[in-house]
Amino acid sequence: MNLLKRLCCLIQGFGVCVLLLITWVEVASATTASAKPAKVVLLLHGMTSNQSTWNNLVNNQAGFDGRCKNPRILNFSTVKLPRNSEGIYCMRFNFGSLDRISTAPKGLDNSSCSRAGGCSGDYSTFDTLGEEIASVIDRIKSRLGPDTQVVLLGHSRGGVAARAFLQSDSPAKTNVVGLITTGTPHAGSPLGRYYAYMNKNCLPESNFNSIFDNSDCAQDWRFTNLIIKKIGDINLKIPTINFLSDSSTEITTLNANVDKLPAIKFTQIVYDKLNFGCLGGGFFDTETSCGFNMFTNAAGPSDAGLNTILNGRARSSFVGDGIVPVVSQRMSGLVGWNQPIRNFRYTKRIHTAEPKRVLDLSRALNNMYKRLGWIR
Question: Is 157 part of a structural domain of the chain?
Answer: yes
Considering only 9-18, 226-235, 238-247, which range has the smallest mean pLDDT? Answer: 9-18
The rounded mean pLDDT for the chain is 91
Crossing angle for the helix pair 193-201 and 303-310, to the nearest 10 degrees: 130
Question: Is 113 part of a structural domain of the chain?
Answer: yes
More confident residue, 274 or 1: 274
Question: Is 23 part of a structural domain of the chain?
Answer: no
* pLDDT surpasses 60 at 11: no
306-354 residue pLDDT tens: 999 999 999 999 999 999 999 999 999 999 999 999 999 999 999 999 9
Closest by CA position to 265, among listed 39, 35, 93, 32: 39
Q: 42 pairs with which residues across the strands?
A: 91, 152
Range 103-131 average pLDDT: 96
CB burial readout 5-15, b (16+ within 10 A) else e: eeebeeeeeee
pLDDT value of residue 2: 45
23-71 residue pLDDT tens: 433 333 334 445 799 999 999 999 999 999 999 999 998 889 999 999 9
Range 273-300 average pLDDT: 90
Question: Is 126 part of a structural domain of the chain?
Answer: yes
Task: Give the chain's domain count.
Answer: 1
Range 92-121 average pLDDT: 96
* pLDDT surpasses 70 at 18: no
What sign results for the dihedral spanned by CA atoms 53, 91, 358, 182?
A: positive
pLDDT interval class at 4 (50, 70, 90) = very low
Q: For the chain, percent helix, then strand, then coil, each to nearest 5?
A: 40, 15, 45
pLDDT value of residue 8: 41
177-211 residue pLDDT tens: 999 999 999 999 999 999 999 999 999 999 999 99
Question: Is 231 part of a structural domain of the chain?
Answer: yes
Whether residue 204 is preceded by a cis peptide bond, meaning omega within 30 degrees of 0, is yes
Virtual CA dihedral for 278, 284, 288, 291, nearest 10 degrees? 0
Closest by CA position to 177, among listed 244, 102, 300, 267: 267
pLDDT value of residue 233: 79
Rounded to whole angstroms, what are the CA distances from 191 to 55, 248, 294, 311?
Answer: 27, 11, 11, 11
Question: Is 1 part of a structural domain of the chain?
Answer: no
Q: 92 pairs with which residues across the strands?
A: 43
Crossing angle for the helix pair 2-10 and 14-34, to the nearest 10 degrees: 150
* pLDDT surpasses 80 at 246: yes
pLDDT interval class at 254 (50, 70, 90) = very high
Question: Is 210 part of a structural domain of the chain?
Answer: yes
Check if the beta carbon of residue 18 is closer than 8 Å to that of residue 11: no
pLDDT value of residue 25: 38
pLDDT interval class at 284 (50, 70, 90) = confident
Alpha helix locations (H) across 238-374?
239-243, 249-256, 303-310, 358-372
pLDDT value of residue 370: 98
262-274 residue pLDDT tens: 999 999 999 999 9
What whole-number percentage of the chain has pLDDT above 90?
Answer: 84
Domain assignment of residue 178, given as a range: 37-372
CATH number of the domain encompassing residue 149: 3.40.50.1820
* pLDDT surpasses 70 at 117: yes
pLDDT value of residue 229: 83
- Which residues are CB-contacts of 229 (< 8 A; sequence separation ≥ 6)? none
Question: Is 291 part of a structural domain of the chain?
Answer: yes
Check if the beta carbon of residue 295 is closer than 8 Å to that of residue 251: no
